[in-house]
Amino acid sequence: MGNRVRWVMVLSVTSGVLLGLGLYGYFAGDAAAQLHPLLAHETFAVSLIGVGVFLSVLELGLMIGASRQRTDTGE
């Protein structure tokens, strides 16, 4: 397994967790405070969503780069 594949897997899991926590905090509000007090703050939840989206775009870029590299080398 290549190094790039490992990074894509790590980014995929991390972005999924951050997006999930952010969406839960944004829509559940006070109920999310039971999980962590910061999740009850809308600003923090939106920040988690933003970081999750950023990591998803980074993951997509790595996957596109990997597919281009594979076609350039003829694999």
39-52 pLDDT tens trace: 889 999 999 999 99
- pTM equals 0.80
Report whether 34 contacts 21 (CB < 8 A). no
The pLDDT tens digits of the residues spanning 10-58 come to: 999 999 999 999 999 999 988 888 988 988 899 999 999 999 999 999 9
pLDDT at 72 over 80: no
* CA 43 and chain centroid, separation: 17
Pull the structure tokens for residue 31: 């109920």
> Is the per-residue pLDDT at 1 higher than 60?
no
Are 45 and 25 within 8 A, CB to CB?
yes
When pLDDT is averaged across residues 57-70 and rounded to a whole number, the result is 83
The DSSP line for 48-64 is HHHHHHHHHHHHHHHHH
What does residue 61 show for φ and ψ, rounded to 5 degrees?
-60, -40
